[in-house]
Amino acid sequence: MTTEGAAEPRGRRRGRRVLIWIGSVLVGLIVLVIVALLLYANIGVMGAEPGPLQAVRDDPAIVLDDSGDSIVMTPASGGGDEGLVFIPGAKVDPLAYAAKLSGLVADDGLTVVITRPTLNLAFFDLRPLSAFTDAAPGVERWMVGGHSLGGVRACQLAGDADGLVLFGSYCANDLSGTDLPVLSIGGSDDGLSTPEKIADARGALPADAQLVQIDGASHASFGDYGPQTGDGTPTIDDAAMTARLTELVGTFAASLSPAG
């Protein structure tokens, strides 16, 4: 005979303890995954080499503002109509790309916005393109681009841009059915985004996409963060690499203008 206030049946108590144990294990696993992700994202980040970065800071033709959520480089004489939103490679300090992109600002008058990806990994940055283009409201035409994993993310944002530029990268999503202007720049000695990988992913790009290979360039040649594990050995120096990127991207940007 049961009465109000009688002890809870043993089976029900055991079931509740099992559920509590399972819940505790799941919470523990989630915490471990989060901690592991934070450690992976923040340990081994490849920093910007101080010399090239300081040269950009000292360049009177460039205004560099790295105080906000993105790094914004604008011509000291005033920005033009074209801009580039650039997404860094995985676990690379965004400032490591400032020098290689500086010619676009100083010589071609482009505004360059380098993003700061969430957890140093572009895939975790879910912000729309407008989150970065809003940093320079006077720019009328925007290219989006990125290096390595940053280029993969740029492909996902390309629908909101006027052009796409891949730096040692390729698309994981299919843009072949679009009329988006695309410039893909690879390196002959890239050991990560190899010429073969870029060629294999060619089918994801529009038929008229421009594919250019820079002789002597490795994966790390697109930035200034030192050598990278698994990469090839570059034979092109930094000055020549910067000049070639400036020429290629500057010409591509000019082609997006109504007069181009």
Cα dist. 162→19, 98, 109, 202, 219 in Å?
53, 22, 17, 20, 26
In contact, 253 and 214? CB cutoff 8 Å: no
Find the radius of gyration of the CA atoms of the chain: 24
CA dist., res. 27 & res. 21, Å (int): 10
- Tens digits of per-residue pLDDT, 97-151? 999 999 999 999 999 999 999 888 988 899 999 999 999 999 999 999 999 999 9
Q: Return phi, psi of residue 152, to 5°.
A: -60, -40
CA dist., res. 8 & res. 143, Å (int): 66
pTM, entire model: 0.86
- % of the chain exceeding 70 in pLDDT: 90
CA dist., res. 170 & res. 202, Å (int): 8
- Tens digits of per-residue pLDDT, 6-54? 556 777 777 777 777 777 777 776 655 555 555 455 567 899 999 999 9
- If one counts every other C-beta atom within 10 angstroms of the C-beta of residue 172, the result is 13
3-state SS, residue 256: coil
User: In the sheet that 62-65 helps form, which strands lie side by side, from edge to edge?
Assistant: 62-65, 70-75, 111-115, 82-87, 141-147, 163-167, 182-187, 210-214
